[in-house]
Chain A
Amino acid sequence: MRREAPQKLSDYGPLFFPATMLIVFFVVPFATMIAVSFFQRQQGGFYVPAFQFANYERFLSLFFANVLGFSLMLAVTVAICCVVLAVPFTYLLTRMRRKVQIVWLVALLSVLSLSEVIIGFAWSTLFSRTAGITNLLVMAGIMSEAKALLPSFGAVLTGMVYQAFPYTVLVLYPALVRLDPTLTEAARTLGASPIKAFFTVVVPALRNTITATLIMVFIFALGSYLLPQLLGRPQHWTLSVLITDQAIYQSNMPFAAAMAVFLVLVTLGLVALTVLAGRKGEAA
């Protein structure tokens, strides 16, 4: 289909509403935050307009570098876990009967309707000593006595993967449904076992989709601040937790804003690198 480029100002009409919403609810708050990040904090939780880099300078310390490093590592781990679990899962799902697919998709969507708070408390119960899943293992005779599995890194990771998994499946689903099923059949007739066919045909054919999904889950996980507090120790707290802490409990808006801006920049940089690496791989 050929589309003509908009000629007159009125041709841009349909863009007016979304553009306004984007400006009012995204560009303006974000610009405000950037501005606040240069402001000067005053004792008592207020801040006055200024242009100083003190907030950013304070951020350049080993402590914050560690927190930033941990946040990125956690987000990358969550993204990889989600994709590694979701690609085979979604692939098998798309090969099922239509009715079964709908049941699974509805179940996944209902997980999305749960808030982070509910997910956090549900998992903290499941990982607890008194009412957790270890009691089931004791009953089954696998463990000798029940124990608490939290707070721990594993608990944080489990909660976040659980939260991000439905998104991952929903992003992968359309691409996998469209994948020609005869591709795997062809691979099988050419001598590949079903598992080999999956890794030599399905995964490489979906490389771009998988990269995009990794980026999406990574960014999604980077913003998580409740689960690390509910399920982890203080050393498992992400930058988002510290930002919340600074903004709400320490009333240091300029510093929180500076951290948020820095996080956005680092994220954008990483995404750009991934996209660039993907392009290079394609050219080769």
Chain B
Amino acid sequence: MSGLALNNVTKEFGTFTAVNNVELMVPHGTFVCMLGPSGCGKTTLLRMIAGLDLPTGGAIRLDGEDITHVPTHKRNLGMVFQSLALFPHLTVGENIAYPLRIRGVPKEDQKKRVDELLSMIHLSGYADRPVAKLSGGQRQRVAIARALSISPKLFLLDEPLSALDAKLREAMQVELRQLQQKLGITTIVVTHDQREAMTMADTVVVMKGGEIRQAASPIEIYRRPADTFVADFIGSTNLLEAEADGTGAVAVLGQPVSGVSLGAGVRKATLSIRPEDVHLTAPGNGALSGTVTFVRDLGGTIETFVDIAGRQLVAVSTPRARPDVTVGQPVGVVLLPDVCVVLAK
């Protein structure tokens, strides 16, 4: 099958396991974001795909060929580093032409390809500038162009946008995604920014402690998180303890709710409900009863903090659907069954 396959990939540093038995299939042409807190093994995994670190176990296959022990320079990949690693002694054009020069591509073809890439990254005419004279966003683009100049089989990026300011970062996310779709290149990005992952990825791989917790489309990850870590890490969520008594009746935070099922035989579980799915009504009528403790009006969204039996729950609404509440007021919280995700304890 074409694409990248990781089979039981493991990396141990002494007694510490940085990456533990990772199984992942990246079909040709997809954009994968590896997401997780720092130290979750995502960068180590990327470095193993690039061949900069060797796995201590398992195999890496590219288009069916085992590349686990193929040296980095023979893997025909493009990689963008967090530090960008542009060569300071070369100009913009020479940086982009470096992979071509190393492969002995004729000078005229190099120049043609550099011009092509420069226009792709909107930096035509910058070929002769030293890299030190560029702005952060421009350097970013040059690093991307350099990694793409041989039309690699794999395009790897390690926290590529972390050095940019927030606005530029958002713009670059869109640009990167559009570029990837245009080129149809298999791309793997490591990031700790879940917004970045949601913006760009076909598949988000959430990692923690060297293991993949969930690998799915961004919306699936958001709507159907596999466990409490994923639910909490992607976006914000309300995690509520639920108990079933075995007869079908379910209690959330000690209060009975109707319509929610924890599944056959499950006595204890956690419900994840996104703030925008929390529906506030008048108390009673089978709703959870709580008290409004704080209202944060951000203009575009309104966050209402509700205290239910000592647990805090957040509801987000738009100004059009502004809940008619004030601090200290008792309020009812409706948990619609189709937006509640039941997560095993």
Q: What residue of chain B has the Cβ atom nearest to residue A208's Cβ?
A: B89
The reply to whether A188 and B52 contact each other, CB–CB distance below 8 Å, is yes
Chain A residues touching B, range: 20 to 34
Contact of A201 among B77, B78, B87, B146 (CB under 8 A): B87
Cα-based distance from A193 to B72 in the complex (angstroms): 8
Q: Of B95-103, B263-271, B300-308, which stretch is located at the interface?
A: B95-103
Cα-based distance from A278 to B158 in the complex (angstroms): 36
The reply to whether A187 and B98 contact each other, CB–CB distance below 8 Å, is yes
The minimal Cβ–Cβ distance linking B336 to chain A, given in whole angstroms, is 49
Cα-based distance from A193 to B103 in the complex (angstroms): 11
> Does B147 belong to the interface (CB within 8 Å)?
yes
Map CB proximity to B onto A178-208 as digits: 1 under 8 Å, 0 otherwise. Answer: 0010110111111111101100110011010
> Does B71 belong to the interface (CB within 8 Å)?
yes
The reply to whether B102 and A190 contact each other, CB–CB distance below 8 Å, is yes
> Does B161 belong to the interface (CB within 8 Å)?
no
Cα-based distance from A165 to B98 in the complex (angstroms): 33
A150-200 residues with Cβ-Cβ distance < 8 A to B are 180, 182-183, 185-194, 196-197, 200
The reply to whether A191 and B85 contact each other, CB–CB distance below 8 Å, is no
The reply to whether A207 and B81 contact each other, CB–CB distance below 8 Å, is no
Contact of A189 among B50, B87, B88 (CB under 8 A): B50
Q: Residues of B contacting A190 with CB < 8 Å?
A: 73, 78-79, 98-99, 102, 146-147, 150
- Total number of residue pairs linking A and B with CB closer than 8 Å: 70
Contacts A190-B78, A191-B150; A185 near B102 (Cβ below 8 A): no
Contacts A182-B83, A186-B81; A192 near B102 (Cβ below 8 A): yes
The reply to whether A189 and B71 contact each other, CB–CB distance below 8 Å, is no
Cα-based distance from A214 to B191 in the complex (angstroms): 44
> Does B318 belong to the interface (CB within 8 Å)?
no
The minimal Cβ–Cβ distance linking B214 to chain A, given in whole angstroms, is 28
Q: Residues of A contacting B146 with CB < 8 Å?
A: 190
The reply to whether B72 and A188 contact each other, CB–CB distance below 8 Å, is yes
Cα-based distance from A182 to B158 in the complex (angstroms): 12
The minimal Cβ–Cβ distance linking B100 to chain A, given in whole angstroms, is 9
The minimal Cβ–Cβ distance linking B212 to chain A, given in whole angstroms, is 24
> Does B76 belong to the interface (CB within 8 Å)?
yes
The reply to whether A189 and B52 contact each other, CB–CB distance below 8 Å, is yes
The minimal Cβ–Cβ distance linking A186 to chain B, given in whole angstroms, is 4
The reply to whether B73 and A191 contact each other, CB–CB distance below 8 Å, is yes
The reply to whether B87 and A188 contact each other, CB–CB distance below 8 Å, is no
Report which residue of B76, B85, B99 has the largest number of chain A beta carbons within 10 angstroms of its beta carbon.
Answer: B85
The reply to whether A191 and B99 contact each other, CB–CB distance below 8 Å, is yes
B62-85 residues with Cβ-Cβ distance < 8 A to A are 71-73, 75-79, 81-83, 85
Q: Residues of A contacting B77 with CB < 8 Å?
A: 189
The reply to whether A182 and B150 contact each other, CB–CB distance below 8 Å, is no
Q: Residues of A contacting B82 with CB < 8 Å?
A: 182
The reply to whether B89 and A188 contact each other, CB–CB distance below 8 Å, is no
Contact of A205 among B78, B89, B150 (CB under 8 A): B89
Contact of A183 among B51, B85, B102 (CB under 8 A): B85
The reply to whether B83 and A180 contact each other, CB–CB distance below 8 Å, is yes
Q: Residues of A contacting B101 with CB < 8 Å?
A: 200
The minimal Cβ–Cβ distance linking B90 to chain A, given in whole angstroms, is 8
The reply to whether B50 and A193 contact each other, CB–CB distance below 8 Å, is no
The reply to whether B83 and A189 contact each other, CB–CB distance below 8 Å, is no
The minimal Cβ–Cβ distance linking A260 to chain B, given in whole angstroms, is 38
Cα-based distance from A197 to B102 in the complex (angstroms): 9
Q: Residues of A contacting B76 with CB < 8 Å?
A: 191
Contacts A188-B52, A189-B72, A190-B147; A182 near B85 (Cβ below 8 A): yes
Map CB proximity to A onto B101-143 as digits: 1 under 8 Å, 0 otherwise. Answer: 1110000000000000000000000000000000000000000
Contacts A185-B52, A186-B79, A187-B98; A192 near B73 (Cβ below 8 A): yes
Map CB proximity to B onto A203-236 as digits: 1 under 8 Å, 0 otherwise. Answer: 0110100000000000000000000000000000
Map CB proximity to A onto B38-77 as digits: 1 under 8 Å, 0 otherwise. Answer: 0000000000001110000000000000000001110111
The reply to whether B89 and A196 contact each other, CB–CB distance below 8 Å, is no
The minimal Cβ–Cβ distance linking B129 to chain A, given in whole angstroms, is 15
Q: What residue of chain B has the Cβ atom nearest to residue A190's Cβ?
A: B99
Q: Residues of B contacting A193 with CB < 8 Å?
A: 71, 73
The reply to whether A189 and B78 contact each other, CB–CB distance below 8 Å, is yes
The reply to whether B102 and A191 contact each other, CB–CB distance below 8 Å, is yes
Across the A-B interface, give the 8 residue pairs with the lowest CB-CB distance, nearest first: A186-B85, A189-B79, A190-B99, A182-B85, A188-B72, A204-B89, A191-B102, A182-B81
Q: Measuring CB to CB, which residues of chain A are less than 8 angstroms from any residue of chain B? A: 180, 182-183, 185-194, 196-197, 200-201, 204-205, 207
A-B contact pairs, 18 of them (CB 8 A): A180-B85, A182-B85, A183-B87, A185-B52, A186-B87, A188-B73, A189-B50, A189-B51, A189-B73, A189-B75, A189-B79, A189-B147, A190-B146, A191-B76, A193-B73, A196-B73, A204-B87, A205-B87
